[in-house]
Amino acid sequence: MQSFRTELENPIVEKDILDLEKKIALFKDGKVDDDKFRSLRLARGIYGQRQPGVQMIRIKIPYGRLTSEQLIKIADISDEYASSTLHATTRQDIQIHYVSLDRTPELWHKLEQSKITIREACGNTVRNITASDKAGIDPEELFDVSPYAHQMFEYFLRNPVCQEMGRKFKIAFASSAKDTSLTLIHDLGFIPVLKGEKRGFKVMIGGGLGAQPFLALTAFEFLEEEKIIPFTEAALRYFDRYGERNRRNKARFKYLLQDVGLEEVMNQIEGEYPSLKNQEVWIDRNAVITAEPPKLNSVVTVRIKDREHYDNWVKTNVFEQKQEGFFGVFVRVPLGNISSDTARAFAKVVKEFAADDIRVTINQGYLLRYVTQEALSPLYEGLNNLGLAEPGFDSVADITACPGTDTCNLGISNSTATALELEKVIRSEFPELIHNRDIKIKISGCMNSCGQHGIANIGFHGSSMKHDGKVVPAMQVLLGGGTLGNGHGTVADKVIKLPSKRTPDMLRLVLKDYEENGLDGEYFNDYYLRLTTDYFYQLFKPLAELDSLNDSDYYDWGKEELYKPEIGMGECAGVIIDLVQTLFYDADEKLDWADQAIKQSRFADGIYHTYTAYVNGAKGLLLGENVRCNTQAGILQDFDKTFVETGKLQFEVSFTEAVLKMRSNKATEEFALSYFAAAESFLKTIKIFRDEQLKAEKNS
């Protein structure tokens, strides 16, 4: 592993990778607490699998954009370190599985050589910034949002304000008011708006799915383009300070918004502005270079063997770009999985017939750009030879599913195999539905909605049922979710729970009933609302009867052993159970980072690292008194009550006031140095206090 130590151009990245290697060694030696190490590796895209001893690596693909060479690199990495399969996610990431922890620093280094990162792909961080896959070529867009997503990604990568929040934070950019990026389910969502010639965004705030879905509220109808990054930073600072940290199921931004209300949230965010690094951040609109279409040496004549298949592919997977004479081509990938060999061959086809700008889509496929009319048929032929030219992209037959029990600790029942069974039903019995994009079917292995079942027209999430002392794999059925555009939508209603093996019958029932009882031209959700939830409960109720179970119902789809729920600890954003000394160690580390940042004239970063050192030190001392706090703001208040107001420690002002000076002061060198010096003195004081406390306990 020595080779990666001096090869990277970016010393910050190199230091980060070496730090991971060091922390792995400390963890294996028992010198780093397991929960603390979990937090550290998650923030570096390393996620523990359901299978013991191996990791899933989530590769961060900002706004889904990658080149053919990057796709080849990921395929090569998967062959060398993982299972030779690439899984595209609903957040435009790519995941690889079955990786040894010891090899993750080396793997990361090789990805970084191709400008690919795994940093902050998991954990309590700003996750991958997503954007509409059509951005830049969408005929309905006002302007290309790709540079905005790109700069947002760069601005918050390794930014101290979002490294150890209470939970994950998700951001999306829509290309148009159609909102194909689903801003309504994000912590922050941006929809492009023009006021005359002035660019800006409608800003959505506080959305999220999971077990309790909340749709985002409107923060701004129009926020100028130069203000979106400062607003995001202020929102992250507020969430970092006031967001829940102990109760994991209440730690998302959406719950904070629900608790205090939109008006108070916006007031608190505005209060963060004096301390921001920048009051305006102008976007470099040329940051994302438009890839040039390939020059065909000659027009390739292709004899289409199955004209109906080709025509359906063109109708469902191809659209005219806003650039005249060019086409965007969607590539449907069942479950988002392709082999590394297929990925390499796919990259070769892209380079030959499309621009070298592949976009991962949020429904686990790919989008190719700048395909000419004459290149369509040879492109189809190249894709078809790889099994990648199936018609019906984003249709009823294109089901979204998370990995579920294949690899995830939280999976309850098999979402992937269920999805394949449902697709068989549609393609064999309802083939005309490959042209229907009104109905979206989405499946998650558990209630957490990684497969986005919460906003599906027809949704399922993994569950279980008990009968005669046995456990049956099941699916909760949901109906009526969807997007309405411009940040609006509906959350799906829970209708009934069924044994997993009966979900194909349920799908047949509802699709046939829609054919027979849907009004002429009536959309699926309107049909559902007109007939009411109880109608569908009664329709499906016979399928939920357990007295008629047969032996196969006790086996999940794709499994050969009797079903047994095995739910481990979720790692989507692991909560850290910190020890006092671990927190003091963290505080020292943050203070060291602050010192480095200030010396490099990165004063805002230095101030925030110093703030985090204060908080970690205070939390550590409070734990020594068995005082546990849910929020950073609570830590400051409890420290005052426990140590300052009792006279155990002396401060000229309250501890809260001393620490929160960072909120009201500009990020100048003078303030950074004075704030750092005060924190340094504070950490020395509490360590002495702790030592004396331990001596007293030992002698008592």
Mean pLDDT of the chain: 92
Q: What is the CA radius of gyration of the chain?
A: 26
Common-topology check for domains 130-275 and 400-554:
yes
The pLDDT value recorded for residue 5 is 53
Within its chain, how far is the Cα of 676 from the centroid?
Answer: 34
**CATH code that applies to domain 400-554:** 3.30.413.10
The pLDDT value recorded for residue 573 is 43
Question: How many Cα atoms within 13 Å fall on the side-chain side of residue 603?
Answer: 17
2-112: CATH architecture:
Alpha-Beta Complex (3.90)
Q: What's the pLDDT tens digit per position in 181-195? A: 999 999 999 999 999
307-385: CATH architecture:
2-Layer Sandwich (3.30)
Degrees, nearest 5: CA angle 573-181-572: 10
Q: What's the pLDDT tens digit per position in 484-538? A: 999 999 999 999 999 999 999 999 999 999 999 999 999 999 999 999 999 999 9
Picking from 117, 179, 121, the residue whose alpha carbon sits closest to that of residue 145 is 179
Angle (deg, nearest 10), helices 503-517 and 533-544: 140
The pLDDT value recorded for residue 571 is 53
Degrees, nearest 5: CA angle 34-38-44: 145
Q: How confident is the model at residue 33 (pLDDT cuts 50, 70, 90)?
A: confident
User: What residues contact 346, with CB distance under 8 A and at least 6 apart?
Assistant: 71, 331, 338, 366, 383, 386, 388
CB 178, CB 168: distance < 8 Å: no
The pLDDT value recorded for residue 453 is 94
Degrees, nearest 5: CA angle 519-522-523: 145
Report how far residue 676's alpha carbon sits from residue 60's, in angstroms, rounded to the nearest whole number. Answer: 33
Please identify which residue in the block is written with the tokens 């030779």.
Answer: 84
pLDDT for residue 4 is more than 60: no
Q: How confident is the model at residue 250 (pLDDT cuts 50, 70, 90)?
A: confident
Q: What's the pLDDT tens digit per position in 614-637? A: 999 999 999 888 888 889 999 999
Q: CATH classification of 580-699 is 1.20.120.330, yes or no?
A: yes
130-275: CATH architecture:
2-Layer Sandwich (3.30)
Q: Across residues 96-109, what is the average pLDDT?
A: 96
Q: What dihedral do alpha carbons 549, 463, 442, 118 form, nearest 10°? A: -140
**Residue 643, CA distances (Å) to 12, 361, 563, 648 in order:** 38, 52, 53, 5
CB atoms within 10 A of CB 680: 16
Give me the residues paired with residue 490 across strands: 482
Q: Give me the residue spans of the domains in the chain.
A: 2-112, 130-275, 307-385, 400-554, 580-699
The pLDDT value recorded for residue 52 is 87
Q: Where are the alpha helices (DSSP H) in 65-130?
A: 68-81, 104-112
Report how far residue 344's alpha carbon sits from residue 41's, in angstroms, rounded to the nearest whole number. Answer: 29
Lowest mean pLDDT among 3-12, 322-331, 550-559: 3-12
| Cα-Cα end-to-end distance for the chain | 50
- Pairing between β-strand 493-499 and β-strand 470-479 as defined by DSSP bridges: antiparallel
The pLDDT value recorded for residue 576 is 35
The pLDDT value recorded for residue 181 is 96
pLDDT for residue 199 is more than 80: yes
The pLDDT value recorded for residue 563 is 87
CB 363, CB 400: distance < 8 Å: yes
Q: Across residues 344-367, what is the average pLDDT?
A: 97
Residues of the chain with pLDDT > 90, as a percent, come to 79
The pLDDT value recorded for residue 578 is 39
Question: Which sign does the torsion angle of CA 595, 598, 599, 600 carry?
Answer: positive
For 302, the 3-state DSSP assignment is coil
The pLDDT value recorded for residue 341 is 98
DSSP 274: G
**Residue 229, CA distances (Å) to 138, 152, 156, 233, 662 in order:** 24, 7, 9, 6, 19
